[in-house]
Chains A and B, each alone.
Chain A
Amino acid sequence: MRSSWFRPTCRSSAAAVAAVLALTSLAACGTSSSDDSGSGGGSKADISAPLDPKTKVTLTIDCMPPAAKAAELREWKEDVREFNKKYPNVTISGKSTPGQCEEPARFTAQLKAKSQPDVFYTYFTDLQQVLDNNGAADITAYVTPRTVPALDSIDGNVLGVLKKDGKLYGLPTSNYTMGLLINRKLFERAGLDPNKPPTTWEEVRTAAKKIAGLGNGISGYGEYSAENTGGWHFTAAMYGLGADVVSADGKKAAFNDATGKQVAQQLHDMRWKDDSMGKTQLLKWGDLQKQIASDKLGMFLAAPDDITYMVQQLGAEYENFGMGSIPGGRTTLFGGNDYMIKKGSSPDKIKAAIAWLNFKTLTPGKGQFQWDRTKADKLPVGLPQPNFFTGDTKAKDLASRTKNATMPVENFKPFLANTVPGKAEPPKAQEIYKVLDNVMSGVLTNRNADIDKLLATAEQQVNQVLANR
Chain B
Amino acid sequence: MSAPTVSKSSPAPARAPHQLPVRRGSLARAVQRNLSAHGFLIGAVLCFSFFSWYPMVREFFLAFQKNKDGRTTWAGWSNLSYVFNDPAFWQAWRNTLLFTGLALVLGFAVPFLVAVLLNEFRHGQGYLRMLVYLPVMLPPVASVLLFKYFYDPGYGLFNRILGIFGIPDQQWLQSTSTAMISVVIAATWMNMGGATLIYLAALQGIPGELYEAAELDGAGLWRKIWHVTIPQTSLILSLMFLMQIIATMQVFTEPFLLTNGAGPEGSTMTVVYLIYQYAFNFNNYGGAAALGLVLLVLLAGFSAVYVRLSRTQED
Q: Touching in the complex, A and B, CB below 8 A?
A: yes
Interface residues of chain A, those whose CB is within 8 Å of chain B, are 10, 13-20, 22-23, 104-106, 108-109, 111-112, 129, 131-134, 217, 225-228, 278-282, 284, 430-431, 434, 437-438, 441-442, 444-446, 449, 454, 457, 460-461, 464-465, 468-469
Which residues of the other chain, B, contact A14 by a CB distance below 8 angstroms? 8
Within 89-112 of B, Cβ neighbours of A (below 8 Å) are at none
* Minimum distance in angstroms from B170 CB to a CB of chain A: 10
A20 CA / B46 CA spacing, docked (Å): 8
Which residues of the other chain, B, contact A108 by a CB distance below 8 angstroms? 279-281, 283
Contact across chains for A112 and B285 when beta carbons are under 8 A apart = yes
Question: Does B142 have its Cβ within 8 Å of any Cβ on chain A?
Answer: no
Contact across chains for A465 and B264 when beta carbons are under 8 A apart = no
Contact across chains for B8 and A16 when beta carbons are under 8 A apart = no
Question: Does B217 have its Cβ within 8 Å of any Cβ on chain A?
Answer: no
Question: Does B43 have its Cβ within 8 Å of any Cβ on chain A?
Answer: yes
Contact across chains for B46 and A464 when beta carbons are under 8 A apart = no
A304 CA / B24 CA spacing, docked (Å): 85
24 A-B contacts (beta carbon < 8 Å): A22-B43, A111-B283, A132-B68, A133-B283, A134-B69, A217-B155, A226-B261, A226-B262, A228-B281, A279-B153, A279-B171, A279-B174, A280-B152, A280-B174, A437-B262, A438-B262, A441-B264, A441-B265, A445-B179, A445-B265, A446-B265, A460-B87, A468-B82, A469-B66
Among A18, A109, A434, A437, contact of B43 (Cβ-Cβ < 8 Å): A18
Interface size class on chain B is: 35 or more
* Interface contacts beyond A226-B262, A445-B264: sample of 10 additional A-B pairs, CB < 8 Å, sorted by A: A23-B46, A23-B47, A217-B154, A280-B152, A280-B154, A284-B260, A438-B265, A441-B263, A445-B174, A457-B87
Interface residues of chain B, those whose CB is within 8 Å of chain A, are 1, 4-5, 8, 36, 39-44, 46-47, 66, 68-70, 82, 85-88, 152-155, 169, 171, 173-176, 179, 259-266, 276-277, 279-285, 287
Contact across chains for A281 and B86 when beta carbons are under 8 A apart = no
* CB-based nearest A residue for B269: A438
Contact across chains for A19 and B153 when beta carbons are under 8 A apart = no
Main secondary structure of the interface of B (DSSP, over half): helix
Contact across chains for A279 and B154 when beta carbons are under 8 A apart = yes
* Minimum distance in angstroms from B186 CB to a CB of chain A: 15
Contact across chains for B265 and A454 when beta carbons are under 8 A apart = yes
Which residues of the other chain, B, contact A284 by a CB distance below 8 angstroms? 260
* Minimum distance in angstroms from B132 CB to a CB of chain A: 24
Contact across chains for A129 and B283 when beta carbons are under 8 A apart = yes
Among A18, A131, A282, contact of B263 (Cβ-Cβ < 8 Å): A282
Which residues of the other chain, B, contact A434 by a CB distance below 8 angstroms? 277, 281-282
A278 CA / B174 CA spacing, docked (Å): 11
Which residues of the other chain, A, contact B287 by a CB distance below 8 angstroms? 468
Which residues of the other chain, A, contact B44 by a CB distance below 8 angstroms? 19
Contact across chains for A431 and B282 when beta carbons are under 8 A apart = yes
Which residues of the other chain, A, contact B277 by a CB distance below 8 angstroms? 434
Contact across chains for A23 and B154 when beta carbons are under 8 A apart = no
Which residues of the other chain, A, contact B264 by a CB distance below 8 angstroms? 225, 281-282, 441-442, 444-446
Among B43, B69, B88, contact of A132 (Cβ-Cβ < 8 Å): B69
Contact across chains for B87 and A461 when beta carbons are under 8 A apart = yes
A90 CA / B52 CA spacing, docked (Å): 43
* CB-based nearest B residue for A437: B262
* CB-based nearest A residue for B179: A445
Which residues of the other chain, A, contact B85 by a CB distance below 8 angstroms? 464
* Minimum distance in angstroms from B302 CB to a CB of chain A: 29
Contact across chains for B280 and A465 when beta carbons are under 8 A apart = no
Which residues of the other chain, A, contact B70 by a CB distance below 8 angstroms? 132-134
Which residues of the other chain, A, contact B261 by a CB distance below 8 angstroms? 226
With contact pairs A105-B280, A132-B68 given, residues A282 and B173 touching in the complex (Cβ less than 8 Å) = yes
Which residues of the other chain, B, contact A13 by a CB distance below 8 angstroms? 4-5, 8
Which residues of the other chain, A, contact B260 by a CB distance below 8 angstroms? 226-227, 282, 284
* CB-based nearest B residue for A228: B281
Which residues of the other chain, B, contact A445 by a CB distance below 8 angstroms? 171, 174-176, 179, 264-265
Of the listed residues B88, B155, B260, B287, the one surrounded by the most CB atoms of chain A closer than 10 A to its CB is B260
Which residues of the other chain, A, contact B262 by a CB distance below 8 angstroms? 226, 437-438, 441
* Minimum distance in angstroms from B264 CB to a CB of chain A: 4
* CB-based nearest B residue for A467: B82
Which residues of the other chain, A, contact B42 by a CB distance below 8 angstroms? 16, 19-20
With contact pairs A13-B4, A280-B174, A434-B281 given, residues A23 and B265 touching in the complex (Cβ less than 8 Å) = no
* CB-based nearest B residue for A443: B265
Among B66, B68, B173, B280, contact of A109 (Cβ-Cβ < 8 Å): B280
* Minimum distance in angstroms from A245 CB to a CB of chain B: 16
Contact across chains for B280 and A446 when beta carbons are under 8 A apart = no
Contact across chains for A465 and B282 when beta carbons are under 8 A apart = yes
A90 CA / B29 CA spacing, docked (Å): 64
* CB-based nearest A residue for B71: A134
A17 CA / B35 CA spacing, docked (Å): 12
* CB-based nearest B residue for A15: B40
A228 CA / B281 CA spacing, docked (Å): 9
A10 CA / B41 CA spacing, docked (Å): 17
A228 CA / B285 CA spacing, docked (Å): 19
Sorted nearest first, the 9 A-B pairs with minimum C-beta distance are A19-B43, A445-B264, A16-B39, A226-B260, A279-B153, A442-B265, A105-B280, A134-B70, A441-B264
Which residues of the other chain, B, contact A133 by a CB distance below 8 angstroms? 70, 283
Among A10, A16, A132, contact of B40 (Cβ-Cβ < 8 Å): A16
A442 CA / B176 CA spacing, docked (Å): 8
* CB-based nearest B residue for A18: B43
Contact across chains for A464 and B175 when beta carbons are under 8 A apart = no
A282 CA / B171 CA spacing, docked (Å): 12
A278 CA / B44 CA spacing, docked (Å): 54
Contact across chains for A438 and B266 when beta carbons are under 8 A apart = yes
A145 CA / B262 CA spacing, docked (Å): 47
A227 CA / B281 CA spacing, docked (Å): 10
A225 CA / B265 CA spacing, docked (Å): 9
A108 CA / B277 CA spacing, docked (Å): 11
Which residues of the other chain, A, contact B280 by a CB distance below 8 angstroms? 105-106, 108-109
A184 CA / B231 CA spacing, docked (Å): 68
* CB-based nearest A residue for B153: A279
A228 CA / B260 CA spacing, docked (Å): 10
